[in-house]
Amino acid sequence: MKRRERIPAKPSGSRRHGAGPSARRRMTLVVGVLALAGLGLAARAFDLQVVQKQFYQNQADARFLREVKIPVSRGTIFDRNGEPLAVSKPMVSITAVPGQVLDSADRLPALAQALGIDPDQLRQYLERRSTREFAYLRRQMSPEAAKAVLALDIPGINGQREYKRYYPSATSPRTCSVSPTSTIAAKKAWSWRSTAGWPASRAPSG
């Protein structure tokens, strides 16, 4: 008669040697991957915010900042008698987007008449600048004349406000005269320069 021997079962929690990494090893691997990822993000942030900061700042400024000249009126200058010596007068310059204006070619004669120029010359001027986004048609027109041009309501025609400086007393005889005091002062200055070692040939005569 054969004898049966009972073989004890192995515990379910046990595993054979070399069957796979332990829980501690897996945790170490995950922590290592996360640490490398964090280190990479920190290095990238340092590169963007410190190393290449100025480059990206310039790129942002180039896209969002513009320098625009804003014409302003200069104050009137008066002499001691209260008469104006220099005055700023508001003017309007007519500008155009050549491509848009050429699309309304049938209205060029009316525009040329309002500007006081030849229609053919105006057409040639716009055609030479058809690839540009901006061109002057007439600088510093009076507000009344510019209003007549803008009233045509031609696409691509705009007005730009400017100021013209003029001098009401420029033709006055008083502004061209030289007082005796200034003449005497000039002679004294030349006399001082000649005595200070200036060549005699450079000193004024008389």
pLDDT in tens, 154-163: 999 999 988 8
pLDDT, position 170: 67
In this predicted structure, the answer to whether residue 119 has a pLDDT above a threshold of 60 is: yes
Characterise 154 by phi-psi region: left (phi > 0), alpha (psi -120 to 50), beta (else).
beta
Percent of the chain with pLDDT over 70: 72
Does the residue 2 lie in any domain? no
Q: Span 76-85, mean pLDDT?
A: 86
Angstrom distance (rounded) from CA 64 to CA 151: 33
pLDDT, position 7: 60
3-state SS assignment for residue 131: coil
Q: Span 90-98, mean pLDDT?
A: 92
pLDDT, position 136: 92
> Which distant-in-sequence residues (6+ apart) come within 8 Å of 127 by Cβ?
98, 102
Residue type, 25: R
Which DSSP state fits 107?
G
- Most confident segment among 11-15, 149-153, 175-179: 149-153
Q: Span 42-47, mean pLDDT?
A: 91
Does the residue 116 lie in any domain? yes
pLDDT, position 187: 46
Angstrom distance (rounded) from CA 121 to CA 129: 13
User: Angle of helix 143-150 relative to helix 108-115, nearest 10 degrees?
Assistant: 180
Does the residue 127 lie in any domain? yes
- Which pLDDT band holds residue 48 (cuts at 50, 70, 90)? confident
| Number of domains into which the chain is organized | 1
Range of the domain at 145: 90-166
Partners of residue 92 on adjacent β-strands: 141, 161
Q: Span 78-99, mean pLDDT?
A: 89
Copy the structure tokens of residue 59: 């790129």
| CA-based nearest residue to 168, from 82, 73, 86, 75 | 86
Q: Span 165-185, mean pLDDT?
A: 55
Does the residue 125 lie in any domain? yes
| CA-based nearest residue to 168, from 91, 71, 89 | 89
Q: Integer distance in angstroms from the first to the last C-alpha of the chain?
A: 159
pLDDT, position 4: 63
In this predicted structure, the answer to whether residue 150 has a pLDDT above a threshold of 50 is: yes
- CATH code, domain with 142: 3.90.1310.10
In this predicted structure, the answer to whether residue 201 has a pLDDT above a threshold of 80 is: no
What mean pLDDT is reported for the chain? 77
